[in-house]
Amino acid sequence: MVNVDISELFREKDFLKICAPMVRYSKLPFRVLARRYGCDLCYTPMIMADSFVQSAKARSNEFTTCTDDEPLIVQFAAHTVADFVNAAEIVSPLCDGVDLNCGCPQRWAMKEGYGAHLLTKPELIRDMVLQVRNRVSERFAVSVKIRLLDEDRKTIELARSLEAAGVTFLTLHARTTQERHSPIHEDSLREVCQSLHVPLVANGDVKSLQGATRLYMETGCKGMMAARGMLENPAMFLGNSSTPLACIQDWVNISLDLGAIFNCFHHHLVFMMEHILPKDGRRVFNCLKTKTDVLDFLRENYNITYIPGESGLSAESDVITCNESSDRENNSTGSFFTSSIQKYEVQDDVLDSLGGLYD
């Protein structure tokens, strides 16, 4: 696969429409759908870099792509230079850039030294960027997703140091680590954006094309990253106020052609149909337990049926996994992968717990 030049992509448009990294949700089938409905750039879910480097099983489980899956940024959680650099080198033939997650405020991330905890170690973040920049091609994008610090001055200092280290662009979630549902700080976005030469992507409260356009006009940010808004309406960047039925039909075909597991297939539909179904209908639909039940519901209520092969994709012939070997491979799946992700994956329904992450 030939890397797309992300820098050139930013130069081509007023602002890029971006699908955010979302745990369990921004996987291959959803990225394919998002691009068909106006997204310019998509992210993978956050991947634990140590697991990705150490284990072929983790690489296979956590990352898949296809030839239609571009441009693509792979986001990693890492707290050592070696893990981030090695993960970037392994995945670089299959994507267009990597992103370091320095914004996740979840307790487990902070406790383990990942995500927003890294904001207390600006030199470490800078070293991670520098080393990746030195080890992969100049065309390959390196970015960092951060949150606001307690003073704009400190955020600007961090952003400028990362610009000097060689980031292609930065993403700023315009809330502090302590803030969850409060309005974003648009003035801070504007100040940070004006202090940089590299593009700044705005994240937080982007839930419609109209809102994204307004935020671009107010702040000058060259990218608008949507999370919860994309889950509820993958066609939001085309100007749709709710998910069109054609988009739901496409999701059914794409996800099932690509072999999505039931929870992924169903949970996305729960989000997409939140503003379409009446209350009683949501109560029924959200509790369905099998693919057959979901397809029967969609056929009977919306004349939506699964048409095998209609998406133009196939799990057997189109899905690409990361088969690159690693010098650090030791048949371990990494401490976090074994102790936390496996526990997390057995939860039957995590919609409520994840919803707050994507506002």
User: In sequence order, what are the residues at sequence separation of 6 or more whose Cβ sits closer than 8 angstroms to the Cβ of residue 23?
Assistant: 45, 46, 354, 357
Helix axes 152-165, 122-135, angle to 10 degrees: 20
Handedness of CA 225, 227, 230, 232 (dihedral sign): negative
**Residue 53 neighbours by CB distance under 10 Å:** 27
Half-sphere exposure of 118 (CA within 13 A, CB side): 27
Q: Name which of 264, 269, 256, 267 is nearest 315 in CA terms.
A: 256
Which of the 8 DSSP states describes residue 315? T
The stretches of 145-244 forming alpha helices (DSSP H) are: 152-165, 186-194, 209-219, 228-232
Q: Name which of 293, 271, 290, 291 is nearest 282 in CA terms.
A: 271
User: 């992450």: which residue's tokens?
Assistant: 357
**Contact yes or no for 171/205 (Cβ under 8 A):** no
* Catalytic center residues: 104
